[in-house]
Amino acid sequence: MDAFEAPRKLTADDDLGNFCCGVAIVDEWARNRAHGAERNGTAVVYVVDCDGAVAGLYSLCTHSVVRDDVGGGWLRRNTPEAIPAILLGMLGVDKRFQGERLGASLLGDALRRSLMVADQVGAKALLVDPVDERARAFYRKYGFKDIPGMGRMFVPLKR
């Protein structure tokens, strides 16, 4: 097992040009948009290094879900029209480092950070838009639930 460093914020010096997790939308975003999102304040990107390379990454940003779009249940209960949330926008592990539970570790870090933010500013859930059924199964394994009719999933940010 490789020795991964602790997740840290993306810096201008981080080279994502060769990042390849095998999911086209994540790879394209990492290579071409991650630095811009960080620079423009539309997302905060966290990376994990191993042997001088970015082994994995994820992004977080504030978000909201329209109450009428989520049907009934916990997510809708006692909320304003725009339900405050945090979006896990992208999560990927470079192919060279897959199979070492780094994805689960990144997800755990994203959840911990989201819980801290929710405690400071208020957010009801951590949201994710799985890119395919494999990703959906991954998130489901860690407690995420489907939002009916949206394709989106959530996990509560309970305080």
22: left (phi over 0), alpha (psi -120 to 50) or beta: left
Mean pLDDT score of the chain: 92
Assigned domain for 3 exists:
no
Catalytic residue IDs = 139
Assigned domain for 16 exists:
yes
**Which segment of 81-85, 114-118, 126-130 scores lowest on mean pLDDT?**
81-85
* Cβ 41 vs Cβ 114: under 8 Å: no
Assign residue 43 the CATH number of its domain: 3.40.630.30
CA distance linking residue 76 with residue 133, whole number of Å: 25
Nearest C-alpha neighbor of 12 from the set 36, 43, 48, 41 = 36
Assigned domain for 54 exists:
yes
Which range of residues forms the domain containing residue 33? 8-156
Which helix (H) or strand (E) element contains residue 102?
helix 102-121
Assigned domain for 2 exists:
no
pLDDT at position 3 is: 83
pLDDT at position 81 is: 72
% of the chain exceeding 70 in pLDDT = 91
| Strands (DSSP E) found in the chain | 8-9, 44-50, 53-66, 82-93, 125-128, 145-146, 153-156
17-21 average pLDDT score: 97
Render pLDDT for 56-82 as a digit per residue (tens, 0 to 9). Answer: 999 999 998 877 677 766 666 666 677
Q: How many domains does the chain have?
A: 1
